[in-house]
Amino acid sequence: MNTLTITQPDDWHLHLRTGSILKTVVVHSARQFKRAIVMPNLNPAISSITSALNYRNEILQALPKDSTFDPLMTLYLTNQTTVDDVKQVAACEFTYAFKLYPAGATTNSDAGVSDLIKIYPILEAMQQHHVPLLIHGEVTDETCDIFDRERIFIEKHLITLVKQFPELKIVLEHLTTKEAVQFVESSPANIGATITPQHLHFNRNAMLVGGIRPHYYCLPIIKREHHRLALVKAATSGNPKFFLGTDSAPHLSHLKENCCGCAGCYSAFAAIEFYTEIFEKEQALDKLEAFASFHGADFYGLARNKTTITLEKYNWQIPNSYGADDITIIPLKANESLSWKLK
């Protein structure tokens, strides 16, 4: 097979940032995706409807004139979020979900929730108003090993949460472990999950063997090979609970190549190509369209896209960096090759 045409995909987990970084990266997403769930972890966090709408306008301004890319906005759940905020999100045509970051879990998460019990009334309102909860599922307990943080979050918090709010739509974002895959598979249909390109392509050796490679460092951190294999199996299984979410998270190169480097992989420049390569290796190209273009829309209760994209089997080299002037963003797998290219 040398070309592949599929319904235009959506990215159900994307970091776009603001200012010059936004201008550099948004065109990459808009080339391939029709819609994207935009993460609210700016500084200050996007935690009100007003800030979400302002941010949406900034994104639209940064797009090429003819672009039809549709940013689906999310609000950052904080200890201060009110039931009224939930009602506003439910009523607004541009906002789609709340994102839960346990305080301190990742980039710009200091405003995150410190104790889940405190936000139970908010979750109750989300359940009632059909607003999905998107979760960065990691505990932040200092004594918990970084490679165990997702598994422990599921055991300690998520199982209870799902029982307490049986109707709440939950997306466990960026799965990284076989335990997370098993949890999602064995949960009811209102529990879905996104899977990133980096967690499908790499295990922790890519980050740590032969030298420390900061551009493979993201959160939740990439794990052992058997976890990667479980993720590949889930993504290519055809199970509608699993869908595309890149977690593409651009950082300036000097902030990653640093003695305390930021977490986040930049994959948006070739996101669909990264996924296609994995699906081809698994001989599951026939499952790509559903994972990339149907499952997420169905989960969120949105219409599937009508437009298509075409991919070509074609070997090309990923550039060393993206950006101009003072913006340098090192892409995932910089200087290496990919075997599919968006037409």
Nearer to ligand NCD, 209 or 255 (CB): 255
For residues 145 to 184, the per-residue mask of contacts with ligand NCD, x marking binding by CB under 6 A and - elsewhere, is ----------------------------------------
For residues 271 to 310, the per-residue mask of contacts with ligand NCD, x marking binding by CB under 6 A and - elsewhere, is ----------------------------------------
Handedness of CA 295, 300, 306, 312 (dihedral sign): negative
Least Å distance, CB 109 to ligand NCD, is 7
Locate tokens 């000097």: which residue?
254
Catalytic, out of 66, 148, 247, 286: 247
Is 107 a residue that touches ligand NCD (CB under 6 A)? yes
SS3 of the chain: helix, strand, coil, percent, to 5: 40, 20, 45
The neighbouring-strand residues paired with 340 are 313
Is 247 a residue that touches Zn ion (CB under 5 A)? yes
Least Å distance, CB 55 to ligand NCD, is 14
CB 131 within 8 A of CB 86: yes
Is 6 a residue that touches ligand NCD (CB under 6 A)? no
* Residue 70 known to be catalytic: no
**How many residues bind to ligand NCD according to rule CB under 6 A?**
11
CB 235 within 8 A of CB 243: no
Candidates 171, 218, 268, 330; binder of ligand NCD (CB under 6 A) is 218
Read off φ and ψ for residue 251, nearest 5 degrees: -135, 150
Is 138 a residue that touches Zn ion (CB under 5 A)? no
Is 85 a residue that touches Zn ion (CB under 5 A)? no
The CA distance from 298 to 317, in Å, is 34
Is 136 a residue that touches ligand NCD (CB under 6 A)? yes
Which residues have CB under 8 Å from 131's CB, separation 6+? 86, 89, 90, 96, 97, 98, 125, 169
Is 11 a residue that touches Zn ion (CB under 5 A)? no
CB 248 within 8 A of CB 25: yes
The CA distance from 334 to 204, in Å, is 17
Q: Show which residues are catalytic.
A: 247
Binding site for ligand NCD (CB under 6 A): 15, 41, 106-107, 136, 218-219, 247, 249, 263-264
